[in-house]
Structure 1
């Protein structure tokens, strides 16, 4: 299998050694390796080269949609000739089904499915089953239950020019695999019939597949552009995969219904009168819908019966669509692995009330994410990628490959420790010095009160300062960072400056207050990550204000100094003079809506406009923009009320 990497640059800095080390590790039989790459060292490009060398189908796992979208676009640029797919939760909005016993309140599942992302999920599985040169970039959605891959593959069928196929048979097979007939409007997952012609849009496709029959023979197959009707290509054959992931052969569907009935009969005697009545009504209604239409609302809760699994067996998920040998890349592993580990417990806790109070059969427990030990079974060829790997990586990785030297030649910043006494005056001097040289400042505190007080103090001293707090929503945070880069203000004060989007080249100084107060934001990893915020500026400095040298500070300083020595030695040997990264500042994407200035009778029209923009943002994978627009919609609806 061939992956063809396209890039205008070649591996540099530590990248060549990292690529060789990881490739050799796998050839020597290592199952787990760690790529310890500092900020700005080009870890994604290293992984792209590794994929090219190994030639294996690849899953890149990220801990949120925003990071996944960023990685997806990067790999699309690197591999335009191969299949690069995107697999995340397809909900723009999701309220899970739940029951609150204290309030006796049942909350029905409410979800707004993004059809574009649903199409991309289907495309991901179709690519895995039809091509080996496939890269899937996914969030932790990949460990949640998905339809049986054998059913998805075996229920698909191929149409080939010249073969015998009656129109009625084709229609029946399309309906069986969840395609809907609609002779008026064609969209993914639908088909229409016009005379001897059948037109379909597969769930994972953008354009129309037109099948022309001559009698009982497939005469011609065309790909047609949906909007213009222009013929794009002539095909000898086309493989049609199901329109949904949860599909089951008819005989197995009948067996599943009998299995659901048997479980219901077994459970009812164990419940109270009200709970038993509730469960009987709901389950019998669902069974009737399955028998009549092949599906029902919440059918995934019966997945164990359709899959023929025993109680407690792990569900099928995206990882089962990969072949036996595939490459697993866990990006930002120090955050992603704990997230994977916590998914099962959260899901189980929510379903416990539903089962105990008669809203769901106990088999609903088995519609779940993987447990962590089940996820580990897929780690046959895995690379943990992080600047600060966690304890799991340290215990299990058979090799740690360091990527310390940046292709740009930038080195980690100079770090000093100064006493807490007089820190306010000292910090003010450093801020003024940094502003004078044309750079920006980040200051991190441990408490909201101190952050607010220090912000007020600096503003009182005539220094343009803003405060970044936890209540600021995602896109507003992005706009604050943009204004900092533009120089609208010079100092940003916050409690947690470890979030994405804070790799700012203009930052020339980072001040860490109360650095000796051990805890989540002052442990070794957090200190290293915070120090790294100054690693994109050639003149950057960091000061830790502390009265005692904690173990975390010692280790963070030692690691930073170790990296600096390696980076400086490399630069001296190769005659490299580091330069601050030049990163363009994007235009403001969202103009804030001042609801107070909008007449009450105009708000409904505003909501319609914002909802349209939110869907467009989600379709283009700009989730931060979509979240901001959703927040504006919420505020607009509140004003209406």
Structure 2
């Protein structure tokens, strides 16, 4: 299927020329291009038009989860008929394995996996296998080790109606791809009831029912995992692919070979450590590794199995691990919002080298790592660097050729910049916030540290300012909800650090205040300050205040009648995170009109059933606001019924039910 862009807007300003120039470069085989677009110039729309014209799979690499979520939401809106996927780290909490020699403290790996993010990751690799019209929005998680794509796709279980297979053989296949048998149907499990098998895959929100007739698949149906009901129109499927539960799967023969390889390395490394006089470390690594081997033999998995990824994938020492980049087609198109994948490798290796030196891991654990920058570059097919402030690396790679997009389609100009002294900055900022709050406008404040952001937020809250903070310790989906709530007006001020830098699209923000703007550091560099100030460039009243004692020069030009950006507030992932506690006011007028038409108990029952059906359908589509409104309407109707407020035809009650 080809990419089909849906939008109410047409390219304006510099967009048509930028799109044509970038497309010409892609068709000419240019490997590196730079799109220099000022904040608010519609760079995302330009990217979407280029994807549509090039008609190739695309990987959009964002520098943090928050920007990735925003881009995911925007591309979902641009390409509703195509596959737009989200691939970021699935950890809500992650404490890596580490050892502190000075204190002789070993810290075991602890992690909490977010099921929703895991589902989206699995959905991304599934889409890459099944179709070409795919846009993957990813964070730097895409350069970290993943399972081998050959093993992952090779263990796909394809079910077809009429297929000859015994029930036991089918169950064995499901166990081989890491699915668990359970009476409670959850993601990554299957349930057996006689000749009927129900499976809940890890990558989607529906389950599948397999009905056997002897040693043959008699029927395949799609079901609701919660209720077990067959979905309308999905009663008779011809084929259903079941992908592995995790990316770290492999056939039994490959696992056996890996275990032999692990044992060979273990005995070699144990002897090496004993030669160095490290007898305690040698015994430790032998004990830990043999336990892991026994777990892999028994259940096919062990805690920290990723540390044996080199053996499991059959790679040579030092060879690059498989990543998401190995799953995408070779002719894919990459968009990078920032080139910062250099520092991942060195930090990871330093931590693991200590584990190896002290007998907690074998040297092969060093090959469970992110890609080096050189390896990442080697996997790039064609890339467009997208930024308002491209750096020396991007400009050098593009040979100094830059596609400029500096005229905003909205006609907005750069925000007015004002510099004020650091002394009294908090009190001065408070007055500015109150002015914006009265106009129903929003304020962004950037501080130097997380602690400063939290303390300032607490202070403002105590004196009556509707305020929240945002930094890296806030969970991924909660960050998205905070940004959405800011746009909706749930609060007026958002305080953060570097998460407020690049790419955040917040048209309601009319003031950006940068505290301690003259302090040295990467968050106060020329690029960082320009990006932060750009958050006010989407509002006609946009203004930036630098609290600094060192003054810099700012120039601007304007010859177009400006207007603020107007865009939808709802974000796909924000609706997911708030699903459990959303409340929506009931429309009393609609409710009263409906109640007036009810003349019998049968009519009331039919109406309640109809509303419940609509509520379930809305929930399945992630339309939780609508579902909550329907839920509250049902409750109100039932309460009115209990109170006897409906004009229901009276019928004599049976004597035994009389009070």
Q: Common fold, TM-score beyond 0.5?
A: yes
- 2:36 is paired with a residue of what secondary structure? strand
> Aligned equivalents of 1:282 and 1:436: distance in 2?
59
> Aligned equivalents of 1:128 and 1:480: distance in 2?
30
> Aligned equivalents of 1:447 and 1:241: distance in 2?
43
Q: 2:180 matched to which residue of 1? A: 180
Q: 1:250 matched to which residue of 2? A: 252
- After superposition, residues 292-331 of structure 1 pair within 5 angstroms as 292-331=298-337
> Aligned equivalents of 2:508 and 2:435: distance in 1?
10
Does residue 238 in structure 1 map to residue 274 in structure 2? Answer: no
Task: Label 1:6 to 1:274 Cα distance change in 2 as closer, same or farther (>3 A).
Answer: same
Task: Label 1:233 to 1:389 Cα distance change in 2 as closer, same or farther (>3 A).
Answer: farther
Q: 2:196 matched to which residue of 1? A: 197
How far 1:364 moved relative to its partner?
Answer: 0.5
Q: Is the 8 A contact 2:471 2:499 kept in 1?
A: no
* Equivalences, count: 564
For residues 85-126 of structure 1, the C-alpha deviation after alignment (integer angstroms, 9 at most, x for no partner) is 221112111111111111111111111112222222222111
Task: Label 1:111 to 1:436 Cα distance change in 2 as closer, same or farther (>3 A).
Answer: closer
Q: 1:630 matched to which residue of 2? A: none
- Unpaired stretches in structure 1, ≥5 consecutive residues: 572-576, 591-619, 623-641
How far 1:317 moved relative to its partner?
Answer: 0.8
Does residue 96 in structure 1 map to residue 96 in structure 2? Answer: yes
Q: Is the 8 A contact 1:508 1:537 kept in 2?
A: yes
- 1:8 is paired with a residue of what secondary structure? coil
For residues 35-57 of structure 1, the C-alpha deviation after alignment (integer angstroms, 9 at most, x for no partner) is 22222222222211111111111
Task: Label 1:70 to 1:530 Cα distance change in 2 as closer, same or farther (>3 A).
Answer: closer
> Aligned equivalents of 1:138 and 1:261: distance in 2?
36
> Aligned equivalents of 1:114 and 1:327: distance in 2?
29
Task: Label 1:77 to 1:517 Cα distance change in 2 as closer, same or farther (>3 A).
Answer: closer
> Aligned equivalents of 1:480 and 1:290: distance in 2?
43
Q: 1:525 matched to which residue of 2? A: 527
Does residue 384 in structure 1 map to residue 385 in structure 2? Answer: yes
How far 1:145 moved relative to its partner?
Answer: 0.8
> Aligned equivalents of 2:48 and 2:354: distance in 1?
45
Task: Label 1:28 to 1:87 Cα distance change in 2 as closer, same or farther (>3 A).
Answer: same
| Residue in structure 1 matching 2:408, options 389, 400, 406 | 406
> Aligned equivalents of 2:325 and 2:488: distance in 1?
41
How far 1:196 moved relative to its partner?
Answer: 2.8
For residues 349-406 of structure 1, the C-alpha deviation after alignment (integer angstroms, 9 at most, x for no partner) is 1111111111111101111111111111122111111111122111112542222122
How far 1:305 moved relative to its partner?
Answer: 0.5
- 1:341 is paired with a residue of what secondary structure? coil
Does residue 144 in structure 1 map to residue 144 in structure 2? Answer: yes
- 1:235 is paired with a residue of what secondary structure? coil
Task: Label 1:115 to 1:526 Cα distance change in 2 as closer, same or farther (>3 A).
Answer: closer
> Aligned equivalents of 1:351 and 1:293: distance in 2?
26
Q: Is the 8 A contact 1:411 1:535 kept in 2?
A: yes
For residues 250-274 of structure 1, the C-alpha deviation after alignment (integer angstroms, 9 at most, x for no partner) is 1111111111110011001222111
Task: Label 1:9 to 1:157 Cα distance change in 2 as closer, same or farther (>3 A).
Answer: same
Task: Label 1:502 to 1:385 Cα distance change in 2 as closer, same or farther (>3 A).
Answer: closer
More deviation, 237-246/531-540:
531-540
> Aligned equivalents of 2:126 and 2:495: distance in 1?
47
For residues 225-248 of structure 1, the C-alpha deviation after alignment (integer angstroms, 9 at most, x for no partner) is 222412434211122221221111
More deviation, 32-41/7-16:
7-16
Q: 1:601 matched to which residue of 2? A: none
- Unpaired stretches in structure 2, ≥5 consecutive residues: 579-621, 625-659
> Aligned equivalents of 2:468 and 2:244: distance in 1?
51
- After superposition, residues 530-569 of structure 1 pair within 5 angstroms as 530-540=532-542, 553=552, 557=554, 561=556, 564=557, 568=559
- After superposition, residues 448-467 of structure 1 pair within 5 angstroms as none
More deviation, 86-95/298-307:
86-95
Task: Label 1:7 to 1:229 Cα distance change in 2 as closer, same or farther (>3 A).
Answer: same
- 1:141 is paired with a residue of what secondary structure? helix
Does residue 219 in structure 1 map to residue 221 in structure 2? Answer: no
More deviation, 234-243/102-111:
234-243
> Aligned equivalents of 1:472 and 1:198: distance in 2?
41
